[in-house]
Each structure stands twice: as structure tokens, then as C-alpha cells.
Chains A and B, each alone.
Chain A
Amino acid sequence: MRSIYRKLFRDLWYMRGMALAIALVVTCGVATYVMSRSTLDALTTTLDEFYSEYRFAEVFATLKRAPESVARRVSALEGVDVLATRVVAGASLDIEGYQEPVQAQIISVPDEGPPVLNGLYFVEGRSVDAYRDDEVVVSDAFAEAHGFRPGDELGAVLNGRRKQLRIVGIVRTPEYLYQLAPGSFIPDFERFGILWMGRTPLATAFDMQGAFNDLSLILAPGASREEVIEAVDLILRPYGGFGAIGREDQQSHFYITEEFRQLDQMATIFPVIFLGVAAFLLNVVVTRLVQTQREQIAVLKAFGYSNIQIGVHYLLLVSGIMLLGVLGGLALGIRFGFGLAELYMQFYRFPYIHYQLNPGVVGNALAVSMLAAYIGTMAAVRRAALLPPAEAMRPEPPPRYRQSIVERLGLSRWLAQPTRMIIRHLDRHPVKAFFAVIGIACASALLLMGQFFDGAMNYMMEIQFSMAQRDDLSVTFFEPTSRKALYGLESIPGVEYGEVFRAAPVRLHNGNRTYRTAIQGVEPRGDLFRLLNTDLDVVEPPPDGILIPPHLGKLLGVAPGDTLHVEVLEGSRPTRSVPVADFMEQYIGLGAYMRIDALNKLLREGPAISGVFLETDEAVITDVYDVLKEIPRVAGVSSRLQSIEDFYDNMGETMLVFAFFYTLFAAAIAFAIIYNSARIALSERARELASLRILGFRQSEVAYILLGELALLTLIAIPVGFMIGWALCIYMVSSLQTELIRFPFVMSAGSYAFSAVIVMGSALLTGLIIRRRLYRLDLVSVLKTRE
């Protein structure tokens, strides 16, 4: 091997502590990138495959009721390839040993053969016997939540008639990867289930013989989806069509893509930040290295090594460190990615997952890391390459002497000699001190960022489920009902108080921008459901006009004072203009809100309600459940506390899993950065400190000079890091805004404390390691060479 490469390897070996620390940061960056990217790739390919294998439909329409002949008209439309009709009905279930009411959606399966569209993957058991009216298949999330196996039974109220059903199969389907009860934003697998039943018995139970109320289709190749949707709407309108939607508006698909998008953004932001930190560290290390190797560079040049050869030498050094980091990151990323993919497979209930590592991901990881490293070290390498050899023969000129701040302020009398040395050193090398502070601040910022989600999520839940929503139970009815229903519910023993609400599915229009959501009408001066403005003050719903979250305003391009066109998707389906009264805060979901009487007016109806918020006596809540289960018009009951739990169990989990990994990596990086800056300081000052030892300084005094400086820099860096962390989090919050969740920018005291503790802990650990090295400082070697 050529000696110049030997030098390379020996240099790398000599600086292995620092090299490993940097490689570790790169490893974290590459690992997060590979982990999230490969997981995301796996999820999207699996999703696509699951969709096509189980023929997930492309257009969905629901309606009141239409005879089968209407379906043939739709089927005959140009642009429709495959079409399937179904009967879909709501029911309430009674599960033995489970007190709370359970809401269900029952979907028909064809009498002959498997469903043409939206197929079922059988986890267990078989499909229903077409002509048995007591057999059902259930979704596996629901089955899992209750521990159902084929053969188990459950009670149901179908169209007011009680019926005992037997489970014969457990399935997953692309249509309900994400299962939400109507009107809910949070999946709840215990209280909401999807059931499948033979078409004939289901139609018989709901008076739908020879008719359908649900239609889905796949488009012919090249067909325009918009045109088909329009044509379908036209045909279904007389039959109470609620408006056809494309796949991207289909609930399960919509939520899944939103979540994937969020993962995608996190998969970009974090690696970018990590690699940025690595580039910064490399810059510091290589700059220092070139400084200390000035004379070696000069000798090599004196003996005829060219500028390019010297430049390449240092680039190779950088590449060596990066390669180490990238390889580590690939290994770790694949390992974690595989685990994460499995986790998500269970979470999304894919029947399988195709985890594969795209060569493109590896190539990108390598290319981006190397690019970051080369950009980070370009200046230092350039300086090495262009160093004029004659000049390099002399050591760098010492910094110009001036009185340090200690002397100027006359503090020297009060400070011990070692302390004066610390301050003098920092004062003479402000740039070095600045970079050290920035480095440690990055560590603190990363930790803060890793913690951010936890804090923000708690805050978000606090606002949504304790400031805005304060009910114990919310009850929804199958059909809009008269206000009298409230009095019925209020008379249940254990119910203390109730407030009504009205909810209607709508499509909001502004020009050609549209958004499908629901308008909720709430009571003025309500106490169980309150609206918050963007400053989080409780506000009254305006007498007319609509309140929307700012994000919805952004999507629709409207601001307070503008007018929205509301296309109601139920009843007589009127279209109205409504002024946007103001913006309101809503972190989860994107809804629109009005005063209930204004909404009733808009819907051209009397004082109808869709449901009731209840305040109940916690002690007798099971009795309340028992009564509610017996009321036929009650479609569902949801408990606020349960929603909070469900949120953390289901949606929170995907984010927090990521946040956990990032925090882990951030902690590793924090240590790497701090250890690295201490090692640099040690290698730069070893001679000086050894000389002090020769002059009679004690080990502890010498350790104090070096470690005291580290401690001081760390303490300065922590608040600086908080500020950098804020900036990063603000950026992240703004880029992670989705229709599903919009994180508020809040930082909990716990996050600050966590960040500070990890940084100080890392500094302490580093201090212990460095002190051991200091104690082994070779005093003789100092005398051997000059400086």
C-alpha cells in the first residue's frame, strides 16, 4: 500500500473517536432515511398490490335506494369498466360481556361468488352462506378487539328487529384499512365494527329487495373520472344519491394517504437535519485537522505532492468517515426498516408486506451523504490544497495578544488561575468557541425536536378534548330527529345534562376548489361543545355564517368575510351561499361549524338534530349504556375519554413510533457532537496542558481547565439550542400540516428538561472519558518536538 494511504488510515485510526462520532451522526441520518424510505416504499407497494389484488374500486357512491335497473344504466355509461352494487346498512350490536353500545356497518356480499369489487381477504373462516340470515363475516380489527373467533355469536338490532348472528369468517379489505365510525375522526375498533352478510337476507331485513344503496365501480382505461362521477351523480340524483366520490376521497384511502404523506415528510426532514449536522461536524473536524497538519502538508508539497493530490488525500479521509457512517446507516436502516414495516403491516392490517430495499434508496443515501460531506468540508480541503508550502513551514501565527475580558474588567483578582485560563482561552478563540457552542446547540435542538411531538400531541389533545369537547358521551341517531329526543335522553337516570347538535355532510365550493366535509351545528352558549378561536378563546357560534379552521380556508382559498358555496349532500340537497364568519382552531380533522338554528335554516328544515352531547354520572355509566342500547334510533355512542385513548392507541402511535426512533438517534448524536468537540479541544490543547503539568499544575487543575471550558460552553449552548430547536419545529409544524392533524407549535417544559438533561448527561460522560485521557497525558513527548 502506498505510504500516503497508510497515513490516511493511521490518521483515521488516530482520530477514531471523532471519526466514529461523526460516522454515528451519518449513521443516524442514513438509518432514518433508509428506515422510513424503505418502510414507505414497502407500504405503498403493498397498498397498491393489495388494492389491485382485491380490486379496490375507483369511484364510490351512496344513495337512499334505487332499483337494480338503475345500476344497469350506470354500468352502460362510457368509461365504466366494472360495477358492483351493494346494500349497506347501519346496525347496533349487543356483545355479551361488553357493556357499551357498539355501532356496526353491515355490507352485503353477493349471493353468488365473492364480491366483484372491494374483495375480502379471509384471515380465518369462510364466507357466509348466501341464504342464511344469521351468518356474518367481521372485520379483523373488530374481531381482534373483542377476541372473536369463527363460531362466536353476537346480538344485533337490524332495522329495529333483534337478531342473533353467528360469525363464520374474519376478513381484511382494502376498503376499510382505516375504519372510522360515521362522523368520527379517530378509529375505534371496539365500538365500531364492519360486518358482511348475504345480500338476500340483508336486503330482506332492510326492505331493499331488488334494490341497492351503495355502488362502486372501476373505470375503463383512459376514462375521465370527473366525467364518470358527474354522469353517475346525474343518474343517482332522483334516488337520493349523496354524491359520488373518487378513490382519493374514499375515507380509508384518504386517511391512509394522509398518514403516508406525513411519514414521507418526516422521512425527509429528519435525515436532512442529521446530515446537515454531520456536514457541520466534518467541517469543524477537517478544518482543525488541516490546521494541525499544516506542516505535514507543507512537507508533502516540498517533496513534490501536488495540490490535487493533497486535496484528494483529505477528501478520501472525509469519504472514509462518511462511508463508515453510510454503511452503518444502511445496516441499521434496513434492520429497523424491516421491523417498522412489520409494525405498520399490523397497524394497517395489510395481509402481507413487501419489504424490499430499492437500489435507488441506497444510491440516494450514499450520494446525498457524500454531497453533504463534500459541501461541508469543501472550504477546509481547498485550504489544504492551496496552502503555499513555504508559508506552511512555519506554524500558524499565534493570535494577536490583547487583554482578555477578565483583565479588562479587573476580575482576575477574584478568579483562580485555572478559571482565568478558561476565560482567556475562550476570549482569544471566539470563533472556535462559537463553533463548539453551535455544535452542542445542534444536539440540544435535535433532542428538543424529537420530544416535540410528544408534547405537541398532549397539548393538542388537551385543547381538543378538554377545552373544546367536554361531553362524557355523544349519541348520534340514524336519522335527523326532533329536539324531543333530547328530553328522552335527559330523563335516563345517570344523565345529568344534554346539548343537541346537527351534522350534515356537505361539499364546500369556492370557484373550482371543493372540499368534502360535514357542517356541525351547535347550540349557542353550549357548555359541552365549545368553539375556540385561533387564540384559543371560547367563542359563540355566529348567528349566521360559518366557522372553519384556517387550514380549510387555505385549501379553499377563503378568508373571513368571503363567501362559500355549500352543497348539502343529504335530504333535498340544496346549494346555498354562506359567509365565512371567522377562523376557528381545530387540530384534528377539518370540519365546519355553525349555530344549529342557522344550519337548520340552511338545510330548509325545522329544528332537527343529529345527536346529543351528554354529561353523565361516571358511577352509573354502564346503566346509561344499557338504556341507550335499547333505544332503536341510536346509531352510536362515543365516549370522549375513550376517544382520547383511541387516539393514542391508533393515530398517535404512528407518529410516536417515528418520534421515538428520532429521539433515540438524537440522543446518540448529542453525545457524538459533545464528545467530538471535547476530543478536538483535547487534541488541540494536549501540548499546552502537558506543559502546564510540567510546570507543576495538578491533574485536577489541568482537567478543570479543559472540562470547565466544556461545561461553560455546554451551558451556553443549551439555550441557543432551544432557539434553533424552535426554528426547526416551526418549520416542521408548517410542513406537517395535513387535513388529518395539524400540530400546534407548543413546547412543553418536559421537552426542554429532557433536552437539557440529555445534553448535560452527554457532557458529563464525555468529561469522564476525557479526564481519563488527560490523566494519561504523555509529558515526555511534549518535550521532544517543538511548537
Chain B
Amino acid sequence: MVDPDRQLVFQARGVTKVYDMGEVQVHALRGVDLELYAGELVVMLGPSGSGKSTLLNILGGLDTATDGFVGYLDSDLTRASQRELTEFRRHHVGFVFQFYNLIPSLTARENVAIVTEIARDPMTPEDALALVELGDRLDHFPSQLSGGQQQRVAIARAIAKNPQVLLCDEPTGALDSETGVIVLEALDRVNRELGTTTAVITHNVTIGGMADRVIKMGDGKVTDVLVNQTKKQPHEMHW
């Protein structure tokens, strides 16, 4: 349900990204136009190599566009310096990656704490882990957790600083269907309870069912945007 009065969080206009590989140039993005609104949950679908990760990285300030405009609230990310991008990530964005990317030498609690310690108005690591139902595994190291549990720690780490946006790149890619559902429930809950704008990249068309909107990408462009009239609950989905 897109309410045009809702606040615009991200706005992308004609975003291109070219990787210069010396002899060849890879056009990862060829002019992307996109809006993300406050509090919505979007799912991005598309074939491998279509530029999803590239786009998400640019939105999250991990990477910069070759050309075009990317705006976040009132600021222009395309003009931001590295320092400003760092500040942007520090205070506004939470990331979830396909391979969790936890720090192996830190426990679940410490993996979350390493982010809350530099954030402005974080929740406690314990609260964040409770939100993903891992309140009882606080002092376990990543190697002592299952893949799904690790991914939930990664989500807790991403939301613990109360970010405005949560960017997830194939959060269930490495997980089985049941564990995937648990992870998606955690994301859905965060989106509902905290109102965090959430973007989820996936290859799994079924997951599109839980989104407010589904954005389809192909060959470096947005090819289609679907609005879900009725959102599904994660536990209603199977693949």
C-alpha cells in the first residue's frame, strides 16, 4: 500500500555504475530510477548479475554511483565525501549480508555491541538479540551457532542501532526454507514494530509475497514495480 503522502527516504535518478576493468567496461547499472518510502518493506528480485547488490551498496553508502543522483532524506549521497558516507552508515543504515559476516572472534553479544558502541541512540545488544529470539545465546561465538542463528545475530547487529533503513542482501540465501522463514519473521517484526524502512534482495520469488512492493531488476535497470495488495506473513510462505 503506497501512500503518496509518506515520507520519501531514498530517491535514485538515472543511477549508473560502470566498472572499468581496463580492456572491458562492465555496466552494472544503466540508469536506475527508484524511490523508497519510510516504513515500507520492499523486495528486490532479478536474475544474477542484474545489479541488485550494486544498487543496494550505493544506497547504503558502501559504494558510489558513476553517474546519476541518489538522495537520502534531505542529503545528496552522490556528493557526499567518504567521511560523510561513513557518518551516514554509522547512524542511519543497518546491513544484513548473505554470508552473515560476523566477526569470528567476538560472541553474539559482542558482535552486536561493536556496532551499538559507535551508534547514537542504540538499544542494548541484549534487547536486539531478544528481538530476533536469541536472548539465550548471548555468549556464543559464531562458530557455535547454526547458519540461521548467525544470520539472526547479523540482523540484531543491523537493527540494534535503531537505523532508519535496513538493507539486506540475500539474507536467506544460505538458509533452508524453515530457517529462512524464522529470519524473515525477524525482519518483518523489526519492520512492523520499529517502522524501519527495509529493502531485501532475494532470488526467491515467494519472498516477494511479504513485501509492500516488489521491485524487479534486469540488466542494470528497474524493469517492473509491483504493489502487493495483501501482504503475507512469513510463516505463510514455503519454498
Q: Assuming the A-B contacts A298-B101, A299-B103, A302-B60, are A784 and B143 also in contact, with contact meaning beta carbons closer than 8 angstroms in the complex?
A: yes
Interface flags for B112-132 (1: CB within 8 Å of A; 0: not) read 011101110000000000000
A206 contacts partner chain B, Cβ-Cβ < 8 Å: no
Stretch at the interface among A252-260, A388-396, A757-765: A388-396
B147 at interface, CB cutoff 8 A? yes
Q: Does B89 contact A (CB under 8 A)?
A: yes
Chain A neighbourhood of B102, CB < 8 A: 299
**Pick the contact of A786 from B114, B119, B174 — CB < 8 Å?**
B174
Q: Are A295 and B101 in contact, CB atoms less than 8 angstroms apart? A: yes
Q: Is the CB of A389 within 8 A of B105?
A: no
Residues of A within 8 A of B143 (CB): 781, 784
B238 in the interface (beta carbon within 8 A)? no
By the criterion CB–CB under 8 Å, are A3 and B83 in contact?
no
Which of B90-98, B175-183, B199-207, B216-224 has 4 or more CB atoms under 8 Å from chain A?
B90-98
Binding site secondary structure of chain A? helix
| CB-based contact A10/B106 at 8 Å | yes
Known contacts A3-B106, A14-B105: A302-B95 contact under CB 8 Å? yes
B99 surroundings in chain A (CB, below 8 A): 295, 785-786
Chain B 19-36 interface mask (CB, 8 Å, partner A; 1/0):
000000000000000000
Contact of A4 among B101, B117, B147 (CB under 8 A): B117
Min CB distance A291 to B, Å, is 15
Query: A300-337 CB contact bits vs B (8 Å, 1 = yes)?
Result: 11111111000000000000000000000000000000
- Interface presence of B7 (CB below 8 A): no
Whether A513 sits at the interface, judged by CB under 8 Å, is no
Chain B residues lying within 8 Å of A400, measured Cβ to Cβ, are none
Q: With both chains docked as a complex, state the minimum distance between the C-beta of A687 and any C-beta of chain B, in angstroms.
A: 13
* A2 interface residue (CB < 8 Å to B): yes
- Docked pose: A303 CA to B113 CA in angstroms: 11
Among B63, B94, B104, the most chain A Cβ lie within 10 Å of the Cβ of B104
Determine whether A72 belongs to the interface, using a CB cutoff of 8 Å to chain B: no
Do B83 and A306 touch across chains, with their CB atoms under 8 A apart?
A: yes
Complex contact A305–B118 (CB within 8 A): yes
When the two chains form the complex, which single residue of A11, A14, A304 contacts B91, counting CB atoms closer than 8 Å? A304
Q: How far is the CA of A10 from the CA of B114 in the complex (A)?
A: 14
- Is B62 a contact partner of A7 (Cβ separation < 8 A)? no
Q: Inside 8 A of B60's CB, which chain A residues have their CB?
A: 302
B90 touches A303 (CB 8 A): yes
CB pair A3–B147 under 8 Å, yes or no, is no
Residues of A within 8 A of B48 (CB): none
Q: Judge whether A6 is part of the interface by a CB distance below 8 angstroms.
A: yes
Let me know if A204 is at the binding interface, CB within 8 A. no
B105 contacts across to A, CB distance below 8 A: 6-7, 10-11, 14
B110 CB-CB contact with A under 8 Å: yes
Q: Does B233 contact A (CB under 8 A)?
A: no
Report the minimum CB–CB distance from B211 to chain A (whole Å): 23
* CB of B34, distance to nearest CB on chain A (Å): 18
Chain A positions within 8 Å of B110 at CB level: 3, 6-7
Question: Across the interface, which residues of A come within 8 angstroms of B86, CB to CB?
Answer: 301, 304-307
B87 CB within 8 Å of chain A: yes
Q: A299 and B101 in contact (CB under 8 A), knowing A3-B114, A306-B83, A388-B63?
A: yes
Tell me whether A265 is interfacial, beta carbon within 8 Å: no
Contacts of A306 in B (CB 8 A): 83, 86
List of A residues within 8 angstroms of B229 by Cβ:
none
B115 to chain A, nearest CB (A): 5
Over the window 762-787 of chain A, the binary record of Cβ atoms lying under 8 Å from chain B Cβ atoms (1 yes, 0 no) is: 00000000000000000001001110
Q: Report the nearest A residue to B83, measured CB to CB.
A: A306
Given A781-B143, A786-B174: A303 and B115 interface contact (C-beta under 8 Å):
yes
- Contacts A303-B95, A785-B99 aside, 16 further interface pairs with beta carbons under 8 A come to A2-B117, A3-B111, A3-B113, A3-B114, A6-B110, A7-B106, A296-B104, A299-B97, A301-B62, A303-B115, A303-B118, A304-B90, A304-B91, A305-B90, A306-B83, A388-B63
Interface residues of B (CB under 8 A from A): 57, 60, 62-63, 82-83, 86-87, 89-91, 93-95, 97, 99, 101-106, 110-111, 113-115, 117-119, 143, 147, 157, 161, 174
Q: Can you spell out 15 A-B residue pairs with CB atoms less than 8 angstroms apart?
A: A2-B114, A4-B117, A6-B105, A7-B105, A7-B110, A10-B105, A11-B105, A299-B101, A302-B60, A303-B90, A303-B95, A304-B89, A304-B119, A388-B63, A389-B63
Q: Top 7 A-B pairs ranked by shortest CB distance?
A: A304-B90, A390-B63, A10-B105, A3-B114, A390-B62, A3-B113, A390-B57
